[in-house]
C-alpha cells in the first residue's frame, strides 16, 4: 500500500458513512432543531438601547442586502434620530452565478457577468439605503471577492500573491468606484481600508455579523472588524459592538412571508444576551421597500429574504472572552490566563451525523509566549476527521499560526509529550513570540470531513495582562491615517 493510501481510505470510508447515515440522523435532528427554534419564540428579550442624535453608527455588511436583512429597522431609527450612519460593504455580492446569469441574460462569460452583477448590486444597495433616509455617500464599497473572504483571512497575507476570485476571475478589486479600487485581494488591503473607515467615522456603535454565523464571508467579517478595531483603538473612543445573525442552519423559522411574527434567536444560542428592537408598522413597511430594492436577490431568493421581515430585529453585545478562574482540565495550577468557550451540541443535522466533528468546548491557557489548548468533542476523536486551529495575533494583526490534526497527529512538533485527557479531547501546545500574553488573539477552530466543513468556533481572547502604558501605538495600515 502506497504511503498516504491508508489515510485516504480512512477519510473516504468516514465520508461514505456520513452519506449513508446523514439522511436518517439529519432528518431527526432537523425536526428537533425546528421544534426547539419554534419554542424559542416565547423567550422574552430585553430591549436594544435607543440611539441618540450624537451617536455614530457603523454597519459592516459582507454583501449588499445584509444591511437591510439584519439592520434595516435600526438604520431607519438611527437616521431618524439624527445620528451619523454609514455602511461598509466588504464585497459587492458578485459571487452568485445564478443571479449573474438570470439578471444579465446574453452576457458571455462568468467573469464579465459577475463583475456586472457587482456593479448592479452596488446600485441596488444605494437605492435601498435611500429608502431608509441614508445618503449614497454613507455607503463604503470595498469590492473584495464574494465567497473568498475566508480564504483571504486564512491565506491571503502576501500582497504579491493575491487571492483570485472564482467568479470575477480578478486578483485585484475590479470596481472603479470602490474605496479600494485596484487593491490586491489580500488581508492587509482589506484591514487597511477598514481601519481607515473606523478612523474617519469614529463610530460609537458597530454592528457586525455574529462570529457563529454559518456563512464564511459573515464570520470572517467579524474577524476583520475585530482586527481593524484593535489596530485603530489607540486613536478611537471605545465603541459598543453588536452582533447580528443571518445564516444559521434553517433559521429563521418559519421561512417566508410571516411578517406578523417576531424574530427569535436560534434555540441553541438563546443563552446569549440577545436584545430585541421592536419595529413600528411604518418602519416595517419601509424595510420591506428597501429590501425589494435588492432586485437581483429578491428574484432569486425572495423566500429567504422575506424571513427577516418581522416585527423586530435582533442584536447581541460582543466582547473579547475574559480569562476564567479554573484550569479546565489543562495543566495543574493553570488558573491564570485560562479561557473557556462552550459550544452547542448537535445544533445542526450535519453535526449530529458526524459527532466526532461536533465541537463542544474550546479551552485555552496562555502564559508568556506559550499557549495550551484543548478541544472537546461530542464523540471520540476520529482519524477520518481533520481538526484545524488558526490563531491570528492582533495589535497588529498578523498572518495566522495554522495547525492541523490529521490521521492521528498535529502537523507541528509539540514542545512536550501530550497525554490525551480522554478519547473525546485533543490537546495542543504552541510557543511563539507572536502569542505573547499581552496581545489579544483571534482563535478559529474548525472540523472537516473530506471537503466538507462540519463545525467551527471563532472567539477573540483578551490579553492576559496589559502592555506597558508608555508603549507607543503600532503603525497604521490605513492610508492617510493620522
Segment 443-478, tens digit of pLDDT: 999 999 988 999 999 999 989 876 544 345 556 666
Q: Which helix (H) or strand (E) holds 6?
A: helix 5-39
Question: Residue 255, Cα to own-chain centre: how many angstroms?
Answer: 22
Regarding whether 202 and 74 lie in a shared domain, the answer is: yes
Q: What would you report as the CA-atom Rg of the chain, rounded to the nearest whole angstrom?
A: 22
Regarding whether 347 and 422 lie in a shared domain, the answer is: yes
Residue 480 is assigned to a structural domain of this protein:
no
Residue 40 is assigned to a structural domain of this protein:
no
- 365-378 confidence digits (pLDDT tens): 998 999 999 999 99
Q: What is the pLDDT of residue 443?
A: 96
| Contact yes or no for 159/192 (Cβ under 8 A) | no
Strands of 425-431's sheet, edge to edge? 338-342, 359-367, 370-377, 425-431
Q: What is the pLDDT of residue 474?
A: 57
**What's the mean pLDDT when you consider all of the chain?**
87
Task: Tell whether the model's pLDDT for residue 13 goes beyond 60.
Answer: no
Name residue 240's beta-bridge partners: 205
- 31-86 confidence digits (pLDDT tens): 666 666 656 666 789 999 999 999 999 999 999 999 999 999 999 999 999 999 99
Compute how many other C-beta atoms are within 10 angstroms of the C-beta atom of residue 329: 16
Residue 4 is assigned to a structural domain of this protein:
no
Task: Tell whether the model's pLDDT for residue 423 goes beyond 70.
Answer: yes
Three cell numbers at 37? Answer: 427554534
Residue 30 is assigned to a structural domain of this protein:
no
Task: Decide which of 414 and 274 is more confident.
Answer: 274
Task: Decide which of 482 and 245 is more confident.
Answer: 245
- Domain extent for 118: 56-317
- 86-107 confidence digits (pLDDT tens): 999 999 999 887 776 666 665 6
> Which DSSP string corresponds to 106-121?
T--SHHHHHHHHHHHH
Which of the residue ranges 134-148, 250-264, 379-393 would you say has the lowest mean pLDDT? 250-264
Mean pLDDT of all residues in 127-151: 97
Rounded Cα–Cα distance for residues 23 and 21 (Å): 6
Regarding whether 357 and 300 lie in a shared domain, the answer is: no
Regarding whether 354 and 307 lie in a shared domain, the answer is: no
Query: 167: domain CATH number?
Result: 3.40.50.10320
Task: Decide which of 409 and 48 is more confident.
Answer: 48
Query: 382: domain CATH number?
Result: 2.60.40.10
Regarding whether 192 and 72 lie in a shared domain, the answer is: yes
Regarding whether 308 and 344 lie in a shared domain, the answer is: no
Domain count, the chain: 2
Residue 473 is assigned to a structural domain of this protein:
no
Residue 236 is assigned to a structural domain of this protein:
yes
- 268-293 confidence digits (pLDDT tens): 899 899 999 999 999 999 999 999 99
Task: Decide which of 211 and 34 is more confident.
Answer: 211
Amino acid at each position: 500500500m502506497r504511503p498516504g493510501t491508508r489515510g485516504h481510505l480512512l477519510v473516504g470510508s468516514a465520508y461514505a458513512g456520513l452519506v449513508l447515515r446523514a439522511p436518517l440522523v439529519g432528518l431527526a435532528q432537523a425536526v428537533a432543531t425546528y421544534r426547539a427554534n419554534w419554542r424559542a419564540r416565547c423567550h422574552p428579550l430585553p430591549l436594544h438601547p435607543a440611539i441618540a442624535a450624537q451617536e455614530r453608527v457603523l454597519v459592516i455588511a459582507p454583501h449588499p442586502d445584509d444591511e437591510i436583512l439584519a439592520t434595516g429597522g435600526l438604520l431607519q431609527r438611527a437616521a431618524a434620530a439624527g445620528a451619523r450612519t454609514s455602511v461598509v460593504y466588504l464585497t459587492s455580492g458578485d459571487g452568485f452565478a445564478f443571479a449573474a446569469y438570470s439578471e444579465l441574460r446574453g452576457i458571455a462569460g462568468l467573469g464579465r457577468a459577475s463583475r456586472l452583477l457587482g456593479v448592479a448590486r452596488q446600485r441596488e444597495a444605494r437605492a435601498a439605503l435611500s429608502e431608509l433616509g441614508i445618503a449614497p455617500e454613507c455607503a463604503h464599497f470595498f469590492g473584495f471577492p464574494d465567497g473568498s473572504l475566508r480564504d483571504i483571512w486564512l491565506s491571503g497575507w502576501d500582497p504579491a500573491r493575491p487571492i483570485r476570485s472564482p467568479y470575477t476571475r480578478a486578483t485585484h478589486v475590479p470596481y472603479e468606484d470602490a474605496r479600494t479600487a485596484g487593491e490586491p485581494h489580500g488581508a492587509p488591503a482589506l484591514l487597511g481600508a477598514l481601519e481607515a473607515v473606523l478612523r474617519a467615522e469614529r463610530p460609537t456603535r458597530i454592528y457586525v455579523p455574529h462570529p457563529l454565523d454559518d456563512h464564511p464571508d459573515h464570520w470572517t467579517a467579524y474577524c476583520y472588524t475585530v482586527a481593524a478595531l484593535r489596530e485603530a483603538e489607540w486613536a478611537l473612543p471605545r465603541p459598543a459592538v453588536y452582533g447580528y445573525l443571518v445564516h444559521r442552519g434553517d433559521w429563521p423559522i418559519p421561512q417566508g412571508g410571516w411578517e406578523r411574527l417576531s424574530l427569535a434567536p436560534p434555540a441553541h444560542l438563546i443563552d446569549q444576551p440577545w436584545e430585541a428592537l421592536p419595529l413600528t408598522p411604518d418602519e416595517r413597511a419601509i424595510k420591506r421597500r428597501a429590501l425589494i430594492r435588492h432586485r437581483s436577490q429578491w428574484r432569486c431568493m425572495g423566500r429567504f429574504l422575506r424571513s427577516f421581515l418581522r416585527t423586530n430585529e435582533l442584536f447581541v453585545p460582543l466582547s473579547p472572552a475574559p480569562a476564567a478562574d479554573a484550569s479546565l482540565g489543562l495543566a495543574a495550577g493553570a488558573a491564570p490566563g485560562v479561557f473557556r468557550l462552550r459550544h452547542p451540541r448537535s445544533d445542526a443535522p450535519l453535526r449530529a451525523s458526524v459527532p466526532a466533528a461536533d465541537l463542544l468546548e474550546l479551552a485555552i491557557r496562555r502564559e508568556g509566549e506559550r499557549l495550551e489548548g484543548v478541544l472537546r468533542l461530542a464523540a471520540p476523536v476520529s482519524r477520518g476527521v481533520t481538526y484545524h486551529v488558526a490563531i491570528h495575533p492582533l495589535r497588529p494583526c498578523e498572518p495566522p499560526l495554522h495547525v492541523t490534526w490529521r490521521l492521528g497527529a498535529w502537523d507541528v512538533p509539540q514542545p512536550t509529550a501530550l497525554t490525551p485527557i480522554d478519547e473525546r479531547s485533543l490537546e495542543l501546545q504552541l510557543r511563539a513570540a507572536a502569542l505573547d500574553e499581552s496581545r489579544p488573539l483571534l482563535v478559529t477552530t474548525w472540523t472537516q470531513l473530506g471537503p466538507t466543513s462540519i463545525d467551527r468556533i471563532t472567539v477573540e481572547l483578551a490579553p492576559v495582562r496589559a502592555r506597558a502604558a508608555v508603549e507607543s501605538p503600532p503603525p497604521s495600515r490605513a492610508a492617510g491615517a493620522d
